[in-house]
Amino acid sequence: MIWVTRERPKIDRLACPWLIKRFIDPEATILFLPESQVLQQAQILEATPFDVPGVEYSHYEDRCTFDYFLQKHALSDPALDALASIVRGADTDDHALAAQSAGLWAISAGLAFNIPDDQQLLMQGMVIYDALYSWAKHLQFVKHTQNPTERLLLQVLNTYLKPTGKRKTPAWVSDLKELIQDQIDTNLTLSLSELSESLDVNPTYVSRTFARYFDDLSFGEYIRKLRIEKAIQLLESTTYSLSEIAYLTGFSDQSHFTRIFKKLIGQNPSDYRKNKAKSKADTKG
């Protein structure tokens, strides 16, 4: 059977092929393609797509594609469950889920940086996940530190460093905010999918969790908010016409700009500009 996913795999897109080959379909062929070609080629080749938006084998809420494979194929193995937490933590940048998640992310990112060929990358990934599975199956409770004094010191250290339970904001959130801010002035057709790709975070996961970290707003609402903030700056500091400001802030026309502006600010942009000018004049007087 042929399975197809996005190119340049790191976490989920290496863990899932390993799971397929080791537990589901040992003779499977795994193809890595540009995201824009995955669904088309899957149809042509009668292949199964995975870890792309809009397909069955994908992210669901805070679960990775690896989790869905386990559920779909009823793979009830405690070692695989342990591995799933590590993969999920690394893939969603939530390293509090498993102590090994940060290390898996670092190793996976380094492999992808060093190896440009995706099939060669998969071969190395198979070795890594074989090792992780063996650790989870046979060595999970074996301690590397054997000296009793060292173990005691580590126990004390771990007690003081235990997480408080507060959910840590994933690193991709601040990176995404920077990307949006960097591009909002020049790229008026921002795509969540493209931004997610540049962060190497699954776009479906980003879409589903976006509001949690961005003022309780969807991606579209957040971008409109930034555009209105930019429009306010232009209204206050330039003499551009409303049509020019609408164009410069990415709205389809002046009517669209006026409607969204009034909805968010409570008054038309022309009235806003007049009131601001009047307020400045009164202050000077």
Pair (28, 105) in one structural domain: yes
> 271's torsion region: left (phi>0), alpha (psi -120 to 50) or beta?
alpha
Cα–Cα nearest to 196, from 221, 182, 179: 179
Transcribe 25-54 into DSSP letters: -TT-EEEEE-HHHHHHHHHHHTPEEBSSTT
Choosing from 131, 160, 189, the residue where a domain stops is 160
- In angstroms, the Cα distances linking 24 to 15, 70, 162, 195, 273 are 13, 10, 37, 32, 64
- Answer yes or no: is 11 within a domain: yes
Domain contains 219: yes
pLDDT value at residue 191: 67
Which residue would you say has higher pLDDT here, 143 or 4? 4
pLDDT band of 187, cuts 50, 70, 90: very low
- If asked whether residues 105 and 17 sit together in one domain, one would say yes
133 and 70 co-located in one domain? yes
- Do 221 and 270 have their domain in common? yes
Please name the residue that has the structure tokens 């989790």.
67
Confidence of residue 281 (pLDDT cuts 50, 70, 90): confident
> How many folded domains does the chain comprise?
2
Q: pLDDT tens for residues 16-65?
A: 999 999 999 999 999 999 999 999 999 999 999 999 989 999 998 889 99
Which of 207, 180, 186 lies closest to 250, judged by CA?
186
Of 95 and 189, the structure prediction assigns the larger pLDDT to 95
Same domain for 257 and 205: yes
Domain boundary among 160, 186, 210: 160
Band (pLDDT 50/70/90 cuts) for residue 72 is very high
The pLDDT tens digits for 191-214 are: 667 667 767 777 777 777 778 888
Ranges 48-62, 107-121, 175-189, 253-267: which has the least confidence: 175-189
pLDDT tens, position by position, 149-177:
555 555 555 555 555 555 667 777 777 77
Q: Give the pLDDT confidence score for residue 164 in this predicted structure.
A: 54
Tell me, yes or no, whether 103 and 199 share the same domain: no
**What's the confidence (pLDDT) of residue 244?**
86
pLDDT of residue 131: 95
Structure tokens given for 160? 């003081």
